[in-house]
Structure 1
């Protein structure tokens, strides 16, 4: 039977993009929140015997995760063959160590939770730092789709003589992949973080005159890392940078703060709905979904 896509609230537009890439059915579902804050999920399309694909990006996860859990459980209860999750942005990956005594390694806790109610999961460029692969903490089949090809295609079309800049060592994997596809230079700054909104970045040096700096990072949350990097780029005498975020969380006034810091333009992938979305990664996700759906069903 044809797989069915079910979009959690706020993910309807991305589900339509994904449907165009997959050519499956977009189903109907209602999520109701009661006055006491509890949620009720009602699946209105037939799912018995079908592969169900839940689409739910996981920014601001604490308010999204219970409806998602109930949707997956309800699909199983109604006879779904398999229940998979497309989470373009995967939360709780940055707490991948015990940074202070008494803390938990939340990335691993969250992975066990998701692995318990989904049969597979696909995400985009998860924040893999101390973990090298999702399989280290997720017990279900997973795919980590890269956004580098789509980012490089956008830069090639919109930016002349780009210099790809990463704000910290962790960004090397993204800026290196993008620069390689474009055949241009890249540079990586060094970051020191002393708090949630306290970040310092080393100066940019040895740059080629006339280049347009393109600052690429995976997650823009408070945007303090990008803001500090923009300052260093301008101090180096370069033009105002184009800023590209794979995951535009932009908590609070972060987007406006980044513009005010001197970004020439802010563009993001559509892993999280945001006015800055300009790079569509649905086709890449669609290919990964097709691969997972083609794998044989493993009976418990």
Structure 2
């Protein structure tokens, strides 16, 4: 049985279709004192052999919903609980950057581990966070699907990541597309001020179609700056793809103003640009 968190209802439905498992209709309530309740009446009617909790933890409330759905499955007597976290909040806080700070990704992982037998993460920002869980945890790669919505005939395509750390992601999408080169921007971030300095790579972009590939777009600042640099160098068309389209605050406006021919993300975070589903990749891992 698939148990969806409120942030992952479309993906849960797609996963139910891909796996053939029944989809529970969950209820999400907020009490007058601000406390939350996530529950599934289907668990009272039937005790499945396995419950798959699917919940992107884009907010702290979503984290709590996930824990409640896990506990509801345990309370119903389900033998196996599998937790799918398409997008894991706090995953970028994978170390203590200053004395006295927590390793938030570890704290979240340990809390999730208490109510599940197994965890699946979709393209976490730092793959190593899977080691923070006290139960078996597998990273699912959904990046190849990002090639699907791209135009079939890109002009001498270049798949470009915003930094060296994401170049393998760009290579994965290039390989899935079947043609093109890869490269990356050099980026330096000042963690005290948050300022980012971008240095263009040596790859020629003039007249070429460029596909910018990243695992997550949050504020869109770095990505929009990268796009502006490409236009300064005479690029053809610029497409943007990402696994996790967080698109916080005015990120969409920044990208549109910078000049993109297309913006594509997956349904790990359900946005209007979520043109690709990770349900198939997650179903294969289940």
TM over 0.5: yes
Deviations for 1:190-213, whole angstroms, at most 9, x for unmatched residues?
111225753221124331543200
State the 1:273 CA deviation.
0.5
Which residue, out of 215, 220, 224, partners 1:218?
A: 215
Is 2:53 aligned against 1:58? Answer: no
- The answer to whether the Cα contact below 8 Å between 2:88 and 2:124 also exists between their aligned partners in 1 is yes
After TM superposition, the structure 1 = structure 2 runs for residues 247-262 of structure 1, keeping only pairs within 5 Å, are: 247-262=244-259
Which residue, out of 10, 28, 32, partners 1:31?
A: 28
CA distance in structure 2 between the partners assigned to 1:232 and 1:155 by the alignment: 22
State the 1:226 CA deviation.
0.6
Is 2:283 aligned against 1:283? Answer: no
After TM superposition, the structure 1 = structure 2 runs for residues 71-150 of structure 1, keeping only pairs within 5 Å, are: 71-128=69-126, 131=128, 134=130, 136-150=131-145
After TM superposition, the structure 1 = structure 2 runs for residues 238-253 of structure 1, keeping only pairs within 5 Å, are: 238-253=235-250
Unpaired runs of 5+ in structure 2? none
- The answer to whether the Cα contact below 8 Å between 2:19 and 2:283 also exists between their aligned partners in 1 is yes
- The answer to whether the Cα contact below 8 Å between 2:160 and 2:184 also exists between their aligned partners in 1 is yes
CA distance in structure 2 between the partners assigned to 1:106 and 1:159 by the alignment: 41
Are residues 197 and 273 of structure 1, via their aligned partners in 2, closer, same or farther at CA, if it must alter by over 3 Å?
A: farther
Which residue, out of 156, 170, 183, partners 1:187?
A: 183
TM-score by length of 1: 0.88
State the 1:159 CA deviation.
3.7
Point out 4+ residue stretches in structure 1 off by more than 6 angstroms: none
SS in 2 for 1:275: coil
State the 1:140 CA deviation.
1.3
Aligned length, in residue pairs: 282
CA distance in structure 1 between the partners assigned to 2:3 and 2:237 by the alignment: 41
CA distance in structure 2 between the partners assigned to 1:239 and 1:159 by the alignment: 10
Q: Which residue of 2 aligns with 1:296?
A: none
TM-score by length of 2: 0.92
Are residues 158 and 284 of structure 1, via their aligned partners in 2, closer, same or farther at CA, if it must alter by over 3 Å?
A: farther
Over the aligned positions, Cα root-mean-square deviation in angstroms equals 1.9
Deviations for 1:135-160, whole angstroms, at most 9, x for unmatched residues?
x2112122211123212333363744
